[in-house]
Amino acid sequence: MSGPNNPLRVSLVQFEIAWEDPLANCALLEEKLQHLANQTDVVVLPEMFSTGFSMNDQGAEIGHGPVIKWLKVMSNRLNALVVGSIKCKENNQYFNRFVAVDPEGKMLSYDKKHLFRMGGEDQFYTAGNEKRIISYKNWNIAAFVCYDLRFPVWSRNVELAYDLAIYVANWPAVRSHAWNTLLRARAIENLAYVVGVNRIGQDGNEIQYQGDSALISYLGDDLLNLSNEDSIKTYSISKPELIEFRAKFPTDLDADHFTFVN
């Protein structure tokens, strides 16, 4: 049973992604996640958890293919919302698509807005232009992908529309300081919890990742930090505490107003 005052149990899943091998990654995750059945509410996987951050057709999901079907099975089995991003092909275009599947099989998606031009992502993928907020167990959850983290206007919590922001990522170790700093900044400025889930290891382009997946409070404090380990950690966050802090420290009332032009 869920209620307005119940905590939300959030599980961060940090692992080394097998390069362009959806079957191997789904099999690995299925084994890793089984202990979470009925023990969590939200399971967060990294960006492109089924392939790694690659710029070709290999492993692309077409329609409701095997990875989407696997997500639906896992969400139902775990009795939790499962989120992460995957490489999708639709109408001869490719998208870095954040997907969220609930235990009843309902799926919502968000196509990554900010494509990482320094890695050639903008040359292969098509950018999305619509924000997505997922309502689940009386929580409003904003969906973002990796490079989105650098853009505070896109992340702006207008009229406190979300309680939790989730950033799924393949964020290289060489820029870990930016990752760690920006996660905390987004939490503080938006009066919201923030989750960032990154991968570890080396990808097919020999890029190194050191994880640093984290759950940050609305105060900017670390509630969880996975460092550079292959790990799954769960933490319960409180909506009443968030609401109480927003009432006592309503910086949103003094926020600058602007119109976003896409």
Mean pLDDT of the chain: 96
- Which of 72, 87, 112, 137 does the annotation list as catalytic? 112
| Cα 24 to Cα 54, 71, 91, 95, 230, distances in angstroms | 16, 14, 26, 21, 16
Looking at residue 88, its pLDDT comes to 97
What number is the average pLDDT over the span 35-45? 98
pLDDT digits (tens, 9 = 90+) for 162-176: 999 999 999 999 999
53-88: per-residue pLDDT in tens? 999 999 999 988 999 999 999 999 999 999 999 999
CATH topology for the 8-250 domain:
Nitrilase/N-carbamoyl-D-aminoacid amidohydrolase (3.60.110)
159 catalytically annotated: no
**Of the listed 61, 131, 146, 239, which one is catalytic?**
146
State residue 2's pLDDT score: 55
Query: Is residue 131 annotated as part of the catalytic site, yes or no?
Result: no
Catalytic residue, from 20, 47, 61, 121: name it: 47
Does the predicted TM-score (pTM) go above 0.95? yes
The verdict on whether 47 is a catalytic residue reads yes
pLDDT-wise least confident of 4-13, 118-127, 175-184, 210-219: 4-13
